[in-house]
Structure 1
Amino acid sequence: MPLDSAQIRHRNFMKLFNDFINKHPDEPRRGMLKAFASRLQLSERYLSHIKCNRKNIGANLARTIEKRLRLPHGWMDREHDPYTMPLDDKEKIFIATALAFFRARPIEARDSLMHYFQQQFADAE
Protein backbone atom coordinates (compact mmCIF):
# COMPACT_ATOMS: atom_id res chain seq x y z
CA MET A 1 0.00 0.00 0.00
CA PRO A 2 1.49 3.37 -0.98
CA LEU A 3 2.41 5.85 1.71
CA ASP A 4 0.37 9.02 2.13
CA SER A 5 1.97 12.47 2.06
CA ALA A 6 2.24 12.69 5.87
CA GLN A 7 4.09 9.35 6.02
CA ILE A 8 6.42 10.32 3.17
CA ARG A 9 7.24 13.67 4.77
CA HIS A 10 7.84 12.04 8.16
CA ARG A 11 10.12 9.42 6.62
CA ASN A 12 12.04 12.15 4.77
CA PHE A 13 12.28 14.22 7.94
CA MET A 14 13.76 11.24 9.77
CA LYS A 15 16.21 10.67 6.91
CA LEU A 16 17.32 14.30 7.07
CA PHE A 17 17.65 14.14 10.85
CA ASN A 18 19.67 10.90 10.70
CA ASP A 19 21.89 12.37 7.97
CA PHE A 20 22.44 15.40 10.21
CA ILE A 21 23.43 13.12 13.10
CA ASN A 22 25.80 11.14 10.87
CA LYS A 23 27.52 14.36 9.73
CA HIS A 24 28.35 15.13 13.38
CA PRO A 25 29.71 11.82 14.71
CA ASP A 26 31.69 13.43 17.53
CA GLU A 27 28.70 15.29 18.97
CA PRO A 28 26.66 13.73 21.79
CA ARG A 29 23.45 12.29 20.41
CA ARG A 30 21.37 13.81 23.17
CA GLY A 31 21.68 17.38 21.86
CA MET A 32 21.26 16.60 18.18
CA LEU A 33 17.57 17.45 17.93
CA LYS A 34 18.30 20.87 19.41
CA ALA A 35 21.14 21.39 16.93
CA PHE A 36 18.96 20.25 14.03
CA ALA A 37 16.17 22.59 15.18
CA SER A 38 18.69 25.41 15.25
CA ARG A 39 19.85 24.53 11.73
CA LEU A 40 16.23 24.62 10.53
CA GLN A 41 15.47 27.74 12.62
CA LEU A 42 12.53 25.91 14.20
CA SER A 43 11.49 25.11 17.75
CA GLU A 44 13.09 22.02 19.28
CA ARG A 45 9.78 21.19 20.93
CA TYR A 46 7.96 21.37 17.59
CA LEU A 47 10.56 19.10 15.95
CA SER A 48 10.25 16.69 18.85
CA HIS A 49 6.52 16.40 18.15
CA ILE A 50 7.26 15.80 14.47
CA LYS A 51 9.96 13.26 15.25
CA CYS A 52 7.62 11.30 17.54
CA ASN A 53 4.88 11.49 14.89
CA ARG A 54 2.57 13.52 17.13
CA LYS A 55 2.42 16.27 14.52
CA ASN A 56 2.39 16.02 10.76
CA ILE A 57 4.54 18.08 8.43
CA GLY A 58 2.24 20.32 6.41
CA ALA A 59 3.02 21.78 3.00
CA ASN A 60 4.29 25.09 4.43
CA LEU A 61 6.69 23.41 6.84
CA ALA A 62 7.85 21.01 4.13
CA ARG A 63 8.72 23.98 1.89
CA THR A 64 10.47 25.72 4.82
CA ILE A 65 12.62 22.65 5.52
CA GLU A 66 13.48 22.34 1.82
CA LYS A 67 14.42 26.01 1.62
CA ARG A 68 16.56 26.00 4.76
CA LEU A 69 18.39 22.82 3.74
CA ARG A 70 18.65 23.96 0.11
CA LEU A 71 16.68 20.99 -1.17
CA PRO A 72 14.69 21.13 -4.41
CA HIS A 73 11.07 22.24 -4.16
CA GLY A 74 8.90 19.19 -3.47
CA TRP A 75 11.76 17.03 -2.12
CA MET A 76 9.89 16.38 1.13
CA ASP A 77 6.87 15.07 -0.81
CA ARG A 78 8.69 12.33 -2.73
CA GLU A 79 9.93 8.93 -1.58
CA HIS A 80 13.72 8.63 -1.62
CA ASP A 81 15.11 5.12 -1.65
CA PRO A 82 18.86 5.34 -0.92
CA TYR A 83 19.45 2.24 -3.03
CA THR A 84 17.86 3.66 -6.17
CA MET A 85 19.05 7.26 -6.03
CA PRO A 86 22.42 7.70 -7.76
CA LEU A 87 24.59 10.27 -6.02
CA ASP A 88 26.06 11.83 -9.15
CA ASP A 89 26.35 11.44 -12.94
CA LYS A 90 29.22 8.93 -12.66
CA GLU A 91 27.08 6.70 -10.45
CA LYS A 92 24.13 7.06 -12.85
CA ILE A 93 26.35 5.92 -15.74
CA PHE A 94 27.72 3.01 -13.70
CA ILE A 95 24.26 1.81 -12.69
CA ALA A 96 22.94 2.10 -16.24
CA THR A 97 25.95 0.21 -17.62
CA ALA A 98 25.73 -2.54 -14.99
CA LEU A 99 22.01 -2.92 -15.58
CA ALA A 100 22.47 -3.10 -19.36
CA PHE A 101 25.19 -5.76 -18.88
CA PHE A 102 22.98 -7.77 -16.54
CA ARG A 103 19.98 -7.58 -18.86
CA ALA A 104 22.05 -8.61 -21.88
CA ARG A 105 23.98 -11.42 -20.14
CA PRO A 106 22.58 -12.14 -16.67
CA ILE A 107 24.64 -15.26 -15.96
CA GLU A 108 27.92 -13.69 -17.07
CA ALA A 109 27.12 -10.50 -15.12
CA ARG A 110 26.32 -12.48 -11.96
CA ASP A 111 29.47 -14.61 -12.31
CA SER A 112 31.66 -11.53 -12.87
CA LEU A 113 30.23 -9.82 -9.82
CA MET A 114 30.68 -12.92 -7.66
CA HIS A 115 34.29 -13.26 -8.84
CA TYR A 116 34.94 -9.60 -7.99
CA PHE A 117 33.47 -9.99 -4.48
CA GLN A 118 35.50 -13.15 -3.87
CA GLN A 119 38.67 -11.25 -4.82
CA GLN A 120 37.77 -8.38 -2.50
CA PHE A 121 37.19 -10.73 0.43
CA ALA A 122 40.39 -12.65 -0.30
CA ASP A 123 42.39 -9.41 -0.44
CA ALA A 124 40.89 -8.30 2.88
CA GLU A 125 42.11 -11.42 4.68
Structure 2
Amino acid sequence: MTIKAVSERRRENLEMQFELFKRKRRAAFPSDPEKGMLKRFAEHVGVDPIQMSQLRNGHKDLGALLRDRIETALALPSGWLDTDHAMPADADAQAFQTAIMELYRRTPDASRGALLKVFSHLVAAKPIEELLPPCD
Protein backbone atom coordinates (compact mmCIF):
# COMPACT_ATOMS: atom_id res chain seq x y z
CA MET A 1 0.00 0.00 0.00
CA THR A 2 1.39 3.39 -0.91
CA ILE A 3 1.84 6.23 1.57
CA LYS A 4 -0.98 8.11 -0.13
CA ALA A 5 -3.29 5.11 0.10
CA VAL A 6 -2.55 4.72 3.82
CA SER A 7 -3.23 8.39 4.55
CA GLU A 8 -6.46 8.33 2.51
CA ARG A 9 -7.68 5.17 4.23
CA ARG A 10 -6.90 6.59 7.66
CA ARG A 11 -8.75 9.80 6.77
CA GLU A 12 -11.78 7.85 5.50
CA ASN A 13 -11.86 5.67 8.62
CA LEU A 14 -11.40 8.67 10.90
CA GLU A 15 -14.36 10.28 9.13
CA MET A 16 -16.35 7.08 9.67
CA GLN A 17 -15.56 7.21 13.38
CA PHE A 18 -16.49 10.90 13.52
CA GLU A 19 -19.88 10.15 11.93
CA LEU A 20 -20.43 7.31 14.42
CA PHE A 21 -19.49 9.66 17.28
CA LYS A 22 -22.01 12.23 16.03
CA ARG A 23 -24.81 9.63 15.79
CA LYS A 24 -24.12 8.40 19.32
CA ARG A 25 -23.83 11.95 20.64
CA ARG A 26 -27.13 12.98 19.04
CA ALA A 27 -28.83 9.91 20.50
CA ALA A 28 -27.56 10.80 23.98
CA PHE A 29 -27.96 14.58 23.63
CA PRO A 30 -30.63 15.31 20.99
CA SER A 31 -30.39 19.07 21.44
CA ASP A 32 -26.61 19.12 20.83
CA PRO A 33 -25.91 21.48 17.89
CA GLU A 34 -23.87 20.38 14.88
CA LYS A 35 -21.58 23.33 15.50
CA GLY A 36 -18.79 22.26 17.83
CA MET A 37 -19.21 18.55 17.13
CA LEU A 38 -15.70 18.22 15.68
CA LYS A 39 -14.28 19.92 18.77
CA ARG A 40 -16.13 17.47 21.03
CA PHE A 41 -14.88 14.53 18.96
CA ALA A 42 -11.30 15.85 19.08
CA GLU A 43 -11.50 16.24 22.83
CA HIS A 44 -12.99 12.74 23.13
CA VAL A 45 -9.99 11.20 21.36
CA GLY A 46 -7.41 13.51 22.94
CA VAL A 47 -6.44 15.50 19.85
CA ASP A 48 -6.22 19.26 19.52
CA PRO A 49 -9.34 20.46 17.65
CA ILE A 50 -7.26 22.42 15.12
CA GLN A 51 -5.16 19.33 14.40
CA MET A 52 -8.34 17.25 14.00
CA SER A 53 -9.66 19.77 11.48
CA GLN A 54 -6.38 19.58 9.55
CA LEU A 55 -6.54 15.77 9.55
CA ARG A 56 -10.11 15.78 8.25
CA ASN A 57 -9.50 18.27 5.45
CA GLY A 58 -6.27 16.62 4.28
CA HIS A 59 -3.88 19.40 5.29
CA LYS A 60 -2.13 16.99 7.67
CA ASP A 61 -1.61 13.24 7.46
CA LEU A 62 -2.47 10.95 10.34
CA GLY A 63 0.82 9.39 11.48
CA ALA A 64 1.27 6.07 13.26
CA LEU A 65 1.63 7.51 16.77
CA LEU A 66 -1.51 9.61 16.52
CA ARG A 67 -3.32 6.71 14.83
CA ASP A 68 -2.46 4.50 17.81
CA ARG A 69 -3.62 7.13 20.28
CA ILE A 70 -6.96 7.59 18.46
CA GLU A 71 -7.53 3.83 18.16
CA THR A 72 -6.88 3.46 21.89
CA ALA A 73 -9.21 6.34 22.77
CA LEU A 74 -11.98 4.83 20.62
CA ALA A 75 -11.33 1.26 21.89
CA LEU A 76 -10.57 0.10 18.36
CA PRO A 77 -8.25 -2.80 17.65
CA SER A 78 -4.71 -1.88 16.68
CA GLY A 79 -4.50 -1.05 12.97
CA TRP A 80 -8.25 -0.46 12.59
CA LEU A 81 -7.73 2.94 10.99
CA ASP A 82 -5.43 1.33 8.38
CA THR A 83 -8.00 -1.29 7.33
CA ASP A 84 -10.63 -0.96 4.61
CA HIS A 85 -14.04 -0.83 6.30
CA ALA A 86 -16.14 0.07 3.29
CA MET A 87 -19.62 -1.21 3.93
CA PRO A 88 -20.95 -3.86 1.56
CA ALA A 89 -23.81 -2.80 -0.71
CA ASP A 90 -26.19 -5.50 0.54
CA ALA A 91 -28.32 -4.32 3.51
CA ASP A 92 -28.11 -7.69 5.28
CA ALA A 93 -24.33 -7.74 4.93
CA GLN A 94 -24.16 -4.20 6.28
CA ALA A 95 -26.27 -5.13 9.29
CA PHE A 96 -24.14 -8.23 9.92
CA GLN A 97 -20.88 -6.29 9.67
CA THR A 98 -22.20 -3.60 12.00
CA ALA A 99 -23.35 -6.19 14.54
CA ILE A 100 -20.02 -8.05 14.47
CA MET A 101 -18.03 -4.83 14.94
CA GLU A 102 -20.27 -3.81 17.84
CA LEU A 103 -19.81 -7.24 19.44
CA TYR A 104 -16.03 -6.88 19.05
CA ARG A 105 -16.04 -3.36 20.55
CA ARG A 106 -18.09 -4.52 23.55
CA THR A 107 -15.86 -7.53 24.20
CA PRO A 108 -13.30 -6.91 26.95
CA ASP A 109 -9.74 -6.63 25.64
CA ALA A 110 -8.72 -9.81 27.45
CA SER A 111 -11.41 -11.80 25.61
CA ARG A 112 -10.98 -10.40 22.10
CA GLY A 113 -8.33 -12.98 21.18
CA ALA A 114 -10.73 -15.80 22.05
CA LEU A 115 -13.51 -14.17 20.04
CA LEU A 116 -11.24 -13.83 17.02
CA LYS A 117 -10.19 -17.46 17.39
CA VAL A 118 -13.83 -18.59 17.33
CA PHE A 119 -14.61 -16.50 14.25
CA SER A 120 -11.44 -17.72 12.50
CA HIS A 121 -12.53 -21.31 13.10
CA LEU A 122 -15.99 -20.55 11.72
CA VAL A 123 -14.58 -18.85 8.64
CA ALA A 124 -12.23 -21.78 8.03
CA ALA A 125 -15.21 -24.16 8.42
CA LYS A 126 -13.48 -25.92 11.30
CA PRO A 127 -15.63 -27.46 14.03
CA ILE A 128 -15.98 -25.27 17.11
CA GLU A 129 -15.52 -28.38 19.25
CA GLU A 130 -11.80 -28.18 18.43
CA LEU A 131 -11.65 -25.05 20.59
CA LEU A 132 -13.24 -26.67 23.63
CA PRO A 133 -11.12 -28.30 26.34
CA PRO A 134 -11.23 -32.12 26.33
CA CYS A 135 -13.93 -33.72 28.45
CA ASP A 136 -12.68 -36.21 31.00
Q: Note whether the superposition's TM-score is higher than 0.5.
A: yes
Other-structure match for 2:100: 88
Identity %, equivalent residues? 30
What is the SS of the residue equivalent to 2:25?
coil
Structure with larger Rg: 1
C-alpha distance in 2, partners of 1:35/1:62?
18
TM-score, with normalisation over the residues of structure 2? 0.60
Quick check: 2-11 or 30-39, which moved more? 2-11
With normalisation by structure 1, the TM-score equals 0.65
Query: RMSD of aligned C-alpha atoms?
Result: 2.2
Letter of the 2:23 counterpart: N
Match of 1:20 in 2: 21
Q: 2:55 aligns with which of 50, 54, 59?
A: 50
Q: Of 64, 77, 92, which residue of structure 2 is paired with 1:72?
A: 77
Unaligned runs of 5+ in 1: 90-125
Any idea what the Cα deviations from partners look like across 1:19-47, whole Å, max 9, x if unmatched? 11111222111110110011011100100
> Would you identify which runs of 4 or more consecutive aligned residues in structure 1 move more than 2 Å?
82-85
Deviation at 1:88, TM superposition (A): 2.6
Could you tell me which amino acid in structure 1 is paired with residue 43 of structure 2? S
Q: Which structure 2 residue ranges, 5 or more long, are not aligned?
A: 102-136
The residue aligned with 1:4 is 5
**Whole-Å separation in 2 of the counterparts to 1:22 and 1:52:** 20
State the AA in 2 paired with 1:5: V
Q: CA deviation at 1:17?
A: 0.5
Amino acid at match of 1:88: I
Aligned positions, number:
89
